[in-house]
Amino acid sequence: MCNDNNKLKKGGIRTASGTSVILKIAFRNIWRNKRRTTFCLASVGIAVFFFVVFISMQDGIMKIMNDTVQIYEMGHVKVVSAQYEAENEYMPVQYLVADGKDWKELVSSIHEISGVCAVFPRITAIATLQESVIKHAVLWGIDIEAETALNHLNLANRDNGLVKGRYPAPDTNECAIGTVFAQKAGLGIGDRIPLKTVSAQFSDRLWSPVITGIFSFDYFKYDDQVIIADFRRLQRLLTLYEGTQQLIIFADNEKQSPFIAAAAQTLLGPDSIATDWNENYWIAMQKINDKIYMAVFLIALLLASFLIINTVVMIIHERIKEIGMMGSLGMTRAEIVSVFFFESLFLAAIGALCGVVLGGLLTGILANFPIHMSDLYGNSLSEAPISNTIFFVFSFGRIVSAWVIGVIITSIITFFPSLKSVFVEPVEALRR
């Protein structure tokens, strides 16, 4: 310390080498009281550690929710008629895209939009089951071969979701049901499901498809309530002719979805509604949750910073004579403040580094072990578009941003108590 102070003579420090001396003094000073330093490092480190872990879990939830909404509900852009959008909770089949124009022609036109990867027709309709303990289900008519070629229907196992049998063949009286559905209804491969639905002409349609497959999407809503049928067979059953109830558009890059939605809206006109997947209610809510978690982290970081603030104030009080000596040797007030500021900066940087290293290691390990939401919440999340299985997401970018935010916030807050050293007069300090 004395050797360093000798370097402060003759007008203070005003060179790059002088700045390095200030940094060296500040770094040495933080280890003069190891117990106090340990507590400061721990306070910041714990706050940053929990932020890294919880934001990793939140990213996992966000990712699986994004995938679920895109694959099962909307794609990247969902196109329906304006009337359907107004009554979508009832799944009306009489409202067709573009007034019932041939869906193949519509798909061909949409494919000309830049950034479009694939376009699929879909139908969803309510069915009333007969001779079953389950009274109602949802008929989901899709182009099974095309959709399973593009997307994994089971997001946890990354496969087509089949656990037994096969999906229904094109334009046949066949269907597939979920594992939960099969268990509740006591049904298996080869059984029939007598059901009734309503066509686009408001006539009752009786149908008794044969179960050819049982699937598990690890998504309770579909495993419990959905009957999968071939799109073309359901199209004929509901008398939609060549029209379709929905068009689901997938983009090459999900960030292109707003542009594609606007282009599809212009192409199909005001009678159709093209909705970007980001407008989904659950996605919007999850993005709000992200902001809430960030606010909670900042509050935790502020609380952790108070320990460093208290430490800086105590250090200034303990080193009154040292401050007076530094001033008498020619250090400017700004340079004296710099010493204490850099001490708090080192505490924040090292503490945050410890937090992100430990948090990164833990999330890296947890990324290989899924969390089953049903174990935490039961089936209370069955209405939310979220798969039962989520994985922690290890993100180097998130880790770096957590460290940077931790250092910046803590440094800004602790700068103000460092200014206390400005008001220490060298002569008065040396008299104490």
- What pLDDT is attached to residue 324? 67
Largest CA distance in the chain: 100
Most confident of 96-100, 244-248, 411-415, 422-426: 244-248
Nearest residue to 145 via CA among 166, 116, 163: 166
337 & 240 share domain: no
Q: Are 126 and 188 in contact (CB under 8 A)?
A: no
Residue 267 lies in a domain: no
Residue 73 lies in a domain: no
Last residue of a domain, one of 212, 244, 276: 244
127 & 56 share domain: no
Q: Which helix (H) or strand (E) holds 417?
A: helix 396-418
106 & 223 share domain: yes
Is the pLDDT score of 251 beyond 90?
yes
238 & 101 share domain: yes
DSSP state of 168: P
Is the pLDDT score of 260 beyond 90?
yes
Last residue of a domain, one of 244, 259, 292: 244
User: What's the token pair of residue 95?
Assistant: 């409202």
E-strand stretches of 103-153:
116-129, 136-142
Residue 421 lies in a domain: yes
292 & 425 share domain: yes
Residue 232 lies in a domain: yes
Residue 224 lies in a domain: yes
156 & 204 share domain: yes
- What pLDDT is attached to residue 9? 45
pTM of model > 0.85: no
240 & 293 share domain: no
For residue 26, the enclosing domain spans 2-66+284-431
Residue 28 lies in a domain: yes
Classify residue 416 by burial, with Cβ atoms within 10 Å: 0-12, 13-18, 19+: exposed
- What pLDDT is attached to residue 375? 60
HSE value, Cβ hemisphere, 13 Å, CA-based, for 37? 16
User: What's the token pair of residue 139?
Assistant: 């008929």
- What pLDDT is attached to residue 391? 86
120 & 167 share domain: yes
Nearest residue to 269 via CA among 118, 75, 123, 79: 79
155 & 236 share domain: yes
Nearest residue to 250 via CA among 69, 378, 81: 69
Is the pLDDT score of 185 beyond 50?
yes
The stretch 229-246 carries a mean pLDDT of: 95
Query: How many distinct structural domains can be found in the chain?
Result: 2
Residue 257 lies in a domain: no
Residue 120 lies in a domain: yes
Is the pLDDT score of 16 beyond 90?
no
62 & 103 share domain: no
Nearest residue to 187 via CA among 199, 198, 178: 178
- What pLDDT is attached to residue 323? 67
- What pLDDT is attached to residue 426? 54
344 & 212 share domain: no
Residue of 129 and 389 predicted with greater confidence: 129
DSSP state of 166: -
221 & 108 share domain: yes
